Structure 1
Amino acid sequence: MRFIKKRHSCVRLEKESGTLVIDPGGFTEPDAALGADALLVTHEHPDHFDEGRLRAALEANPAAQLWTLASVAEPMAAAFPGRVHTVGHGDTFTAAGFDVEVHGELHAVIHPDIPRVTNVGYLVDGEVFHPGDALTVPDRPVETLLLPVMAPWNKLSEVVDYVREVRPTRAYDIHDALLADLALPVYERQIGALAGTDHHHLGPGTFTEV
Structure 2
Amino acid sequence: MKITKYIHSCLLLEQDGEQLLFDPGTFTFADGAVTPDTFKNVSTVVITHQHPDHLDVKALQEIVRLSGAAVLSTPEVADQLKPYGLKVQVVVEGSLQVGAFQLEAVSVPHEPILDSELPQMLAFFINGKVLNPADSFSPILQKFKRVELLILPVMAPFLTELRVAEFARQLEPQQILPVHDGYAKDFFVEQRYDTYEPHFAEQGIQFHRLSQPGQSVTV
What is the TM-score when the length of structure 2 is the normalising length? Answer: 0.85
Q: Residues 95 and 192 of structure 1: is their aligned pair in 2 closer, same or farther, counting only changes over 3 Å? A: same
8 Å contact kept, 1:33–1:39: no
Decide which of 94, 97, 101 is 2:100's aligned counterpart: 97
SS at match of 2:51: coil
1:75 paired residue number? 80
Q: Deviation at 1:138?
A: 4.5
1:107 paired residue number? 110
8 Å contact kept, 2:74–2:120: yes
1:44 paired residue number? 50
Alignment pair present for 1:14 and 2:19? no
Deviations 1:38-73 (A, max 9, x none): 1101110111011122222222233x2111011211
Q: In structure 2, how many angstroms separate the alpha carbons of the residues matched to 1:180 and 1:3?
A: 22
Decide which of 185, 189, 192 is 1:184's aligned counterpart: 189
What is the TM-score when the length of structure 1 is the normalising length? Answer: 0.89
Cα root mean square deviation, aligned: 1.9
Q: Deviation at 1:162?
A: 1.0
Q: In structure 1, how many angstroms separate the alpha carbons of the residues matched to 2:152 and 2:213?
A: 15
Decide which of 209, 215, 219 is 1:206's aligned counterpart: 215
8 Å contact kept, 1:150–1:178: no
Deviations 1:175-200 (A, max 9, x none): 11123333334422332233321112
8 Å contact kept, 2:19–2:41: yes
Identity %, equivalent residues: 27
Deviations 1:10-42 (A, max 9, x none): 000011141000000111133254321011011
SS at match of 1:183: helix
8 Å contact kept, 1:70–1:87: yes
Deviates more, 1:38-47 or 1:117-126: 117-126
Unaligned runs of 5+ in 1: none
Deviates more, 1:131-140 or 1:196-205: 131-140
Q: Residues 206 and 7 of structure 1: is their aligned pair in 2 closer, same or farther, counting only changes over 3 Å? A: same
Q: Residues 143 and 149 of structure 1: is their aligned pair in 2 closer, same or farther, counting only changes over 3 Å? A: same
1:101 is matched by which residue type in structure 2?
A: E
1:34 is matched by which residue type in structure 2?
A: K
Unaligned runs of 5+ in 2: 29-33
Q: Deviation at 1:6?
A: 0.6
Q: Residues 94 and 77 of structure 1: is their aligned pair in 2 closer, same or farther, counting only changes over 3 Å? A: farther
Alignment pair present for 1:149 and 2:154? yes
Q: In structure 2, how many angstroms separate the alpha carbons of the residues matched to 1:134 and 1:47?
A: 15
Aligned pair count reads 205
Q: Residues 139 and 185 of structure 1: is their aligned pair in 2 closer, same or farther, counting only changes over 3 Å? A: same
1:2 paired residue number? 2
8 Å contact kept, 2:131–2:144: no
Deviations 1:122-163 (A, max 9, x none): 111111111111114251342111111111111110111111
